[in-house]
């Protein structure tokens, strides 16, 4: 199993909002603002970066839960930064506090849950399910 992960372990992820990250991309009648699914993806990426340095062998972390508030809109060209910090763990399940900011303000916050898995064991389990 993964090396001990200290509370507070941090990860970050950044992107600039492009048209493909907007609500309009998903549905033409919606406004061209940063979509909640894209913000959550960036938060998940930051959480992955926080935990991955502690994984060993073929271990990775995968998402298990998401509790997010999207609190403000960001337009095309905005620079988004997501930060994740390990808040707690229970066995192989980890809870990370996440935030997202644009150039002006916090746009989202909440928690992301992740679990450590072996890629080999995970792939085998998925293979067995498809048979």
Task: Please give the positions annotated as active site.
Answer: 36, 44, 70
CB atoms within 10 A of CB 117: 19
CB 9, CB 51: distance < 8 Å: yes
CA atoms within 13 A on the CB side of 33: 10
CB atoms within 10 A of CB 116: 21
Bridge partners of 67, per DSSP, are 111
């Amino acid at each position: 199993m993964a090396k001990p992960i200290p509370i507070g372990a941090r990860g970050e992820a950044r992107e600039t909002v492009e048209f493909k990250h907007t609500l309009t991309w998903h549905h033409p009648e919606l406004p061209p603002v940063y979509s909640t699914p894209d913000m959550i993806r960036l938060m998940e990426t930051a959480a992955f970066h926080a935990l991955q340095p502690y994984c060993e062998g073929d271990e990775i972390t995968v998402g298990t839960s998401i509790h997010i508030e999207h609190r403000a809109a960001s337009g095309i060209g905005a620079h988004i930064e997501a930060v994740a910090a390990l808040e707690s763990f229970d066995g192989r399940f980890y809870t990370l506090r996440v935030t997202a900011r644009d150039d002006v303000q916090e746009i989202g916050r909440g928690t992301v849950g992740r679990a450590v898995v072996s890629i080999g064991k995970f792939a085998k389990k998925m293979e067995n399910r498809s048979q």
